[in-house]
């Protein structure tokens, strides 16, 4: 309740209520730290779950290999004539493609790809010298 007092003029003055007990500073700091820690833990768990879902989705997709058939045919074969080298290069390319598809890779012709990182490109393997 408000207590009434009189001032020297004789007018009644209403006293302000007593302030509520202030929360201890250590409690406020503790709650703030608890809140920050809980938020950080929640973010870490959400990130971990998101990464697991991404890895699971990527595991279902085959690896992709981009092949430049013209480069393989042009410089990947052996022979005395250009025609023999082209045929040998085409044969070697077909063998490489069959090996990759046998291992579960998706082989894409580079003429059908607008751009790709070097990590997915299959470079021409030079033929071994025949003794």
In a domain, 55, yes or no: no
In a domain, 46, yes or no: no
In a domain, 26, yes or no: no
Domain count, the chain: 1
pTM (2 d.p.)? 0.49
Which residue segment(s) compose the domain that 98 sits in?
Answer: 64-122
- Backbone phi and psi for residue 111, each to the nearest 5 degrees, phi listed first: -70, -15
The model's pLDDT over 77-111, given as tens digits with 9 standing for 90+, comes to 788 888 888 888 888 888 888 998 898 888 888 88
d(CA 69, CA 76) in angstroms, rounded, equals 10
In a domain, 117, yes or no: yes
In a domain, 48, yes or no: no
In a domain, 35, yes or no: no
Q: Are strands 121-122 and 4-6 parallel, antiparallel or unpaired?
A: unpaired
Per-residue pLDDT of the chain (131 residues; tens, 9 = 90+): 445 555 666 666 666 665 656 778 888 888 899 999 999 999 999 999 999 998 888 778 888 888 888 887 777 678 888 888 888 888 888 888 899 889 888 888 888 888 877 777 777 666 665 44
In a domain, 6, yes or no: no
């Amino acid at each position: 309740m408000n207590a009434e007092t009189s001032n020297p003029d004789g007018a009644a003055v209403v006293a302000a209520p007593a302030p509520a007990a202030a929360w201890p500073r250590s409690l406020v700091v503790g709650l703030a730290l608890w809140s920050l820690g809980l938020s950080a833990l929640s973010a870490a768990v959400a990130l971990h779950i998101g990464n697991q879902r991404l890895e699971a989705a990527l595991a279902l997709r085959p690896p992709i290999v981009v092949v430049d058939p013209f480069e393989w045919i042009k410089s990947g074969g052996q022979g005395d004539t250009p025609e023999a080298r082209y045929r040998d290069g085409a044969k070697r390319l077909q063998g490489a493609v069959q090996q990759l598809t046998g291992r579960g890779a998706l082989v894409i012709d580079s003429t059908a790809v607008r751009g790709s990182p070097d990590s997915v490109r299959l470079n021409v393997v030079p033929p071994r010298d025949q003794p």
